[in-house]
Amino acid sequence: MTATQDAQQADIPTICRACEARRGGLCGVLKARQLAELAGASSRHEVPAGMELSDDGTYSNLLSGVIKLTRNLPGGRQQIVGFHFAPDFLGRPFEAKRPIKAEALTNVELCSFPGTTIDRMINEAPELARQLLRHALNELDDARDWMAALGRKTASEKVASFLLMVAGNIDPAHHPASSMSFDLPLTRADIADFLGLTIETVSREFSRLRSDGAIQIANKRHISLASLAQLKERCGD
């Protein structure tokens, strides 16, 4: 660690020192003084798996866990329109046109601030506004990527793309060449609602990937990506 990093580290609020949110989340762009102000208004809490996150005006860093964003259509139809993996940032300035629900897929730890604090800090810290914009544009890129998948990919390409996406978010630092394994934070029904398929089709594609040696499945939820190369060939882009 360099001397300047040491000096900066000294000013950082205690609870923020080891916080993941300073890596992938919002706090990384803040100066020590701003971080202290935000930390003073922050509160940590947990949300159990399956619980819906209320859409009050608060903003949160997602410290651990996975969250799904869903949009509902008549006839019981549902579409998952996005995920949040730790360490990510949640919260919306301005109101959305459409109702989108957020639900914890796993147990979730949040570090939350009142919306008014963020709104005020935007005016004082251009870097914060920049970061919020960058974050929104990343989400936009993701959404458009999945638009292409939903509209133009086959069922098996969708499933392969999905596995690669989850793998990349659960372990962003993973070495791309080697194999890896993880627990899926989603049920087959969730996967189906994300990919625009049925649970049966998802299950069949999992079985096919397994019998082809691309993946291994243990206990229904634990996935080992045996051949990343094979998955990338099948993902359709």
Partner DNA sequence: CGGTCAATTGAGGGCATTCAAGGTGCGTGG
Partner DNA sequence: CCACGCACCTTGAATGCCCTCAATTGACCG
- For a copy of itself, the binding residue among 3, 96, 173, 177 (CB under 8 A) is 96
Residues 29-68 that bind a copy of itself (CB under 8 A): none
Question: Counting contacts by CB under 8 A, is residue 71 touching a copy of itself?
Answer: yes
Interatomic CA distance for residues 29 and 40, integer angstroms: 17
Q: Which of 195, 129, 107, 184 is nearest to 159 (CA)?
A: 195
SS3 category, 187: coil
Question: Counting contacts by CB under 8 A, is residue 99 touching a copy of itself?
Answer: no
Token pair in block for residue 216: 């291994």
Which of 144, 222 has the CB closer to a copy of itself? Answer: 144
* Contact letters for a copy of itself, residues 170-209 (x by CB under 8 A): -----------------------xxxx-------------
* Cβ-Cβ contacts under 8 Å for 172 (sequence gap 6 or more): 24
Opening angle at CA 215, ends 214 and 218, nearest 5: 160
Q: Which stretch binds a copy of itself (CB under 8 A): 23-31, 40-48, 94-102, 220-228?
A: 94-102
Place of tokens 């993902």: 235
- For a copy of itself, the binding residue among 14, 94, 178, 211 (CB under 8 A) is 94
Choose among a copy of itself, DNA, none what residue 140 binds, the Cβ cut-off being 5 to 8 Å by kind.
a copy of itself
Q: How many CB atoms lie within 10 A of CB 177?
A: 7
- For a copy of itself, the binding residue among 148, 189, 218, 229 (CB under 8 A) is 148
- For a copy of itself, the binding residue among 49, 147, 218, 229 (CB under 8 A) is 147
**Helix intervals (H) in the chain:** 3-11, 21-24, 32-41, 115-124, 126-152, 155-170, 188-195, 199-211, 228-234
206 contacts 162 by C-beta, under 8 angstroms: no
* Cβ-Cβ contacts under 8 Å for 149 (sequence gap 6 or more): 157, 158, 161, 195, 236
Question: Counting contacts by CB under 8 A, is residue 73 touching a copy of itself?
Answer: yes
- For a copy of itself, the binding residue among 1, 10, 97, 177 (CB under 8 A) is 97
Q: Which stretch binds a copy of itself (CB under 8 A): 3-11, 17-25, 125-133, 207-215?
A: 125-133
The least distance separating DNA from the CB of residue 157, rounded to whole angstroms, comes to: 8
Token pair in block for residue 41: 């208004």
Q: Could you list the residues that contact DNA (CB under 7 A)? A: 154-156, 187-189, 196-204, 206-207, 217, 219-221
- Write out the residues near a copy of itself by the rule CB under 8 A: 69, 71, 73-74, 77-79, 81-82, 92-94, 96-98, 100, 122-123, 126, 129-130, 132-134, 136-141, 143-148, 150-153, 193-196, 236-237
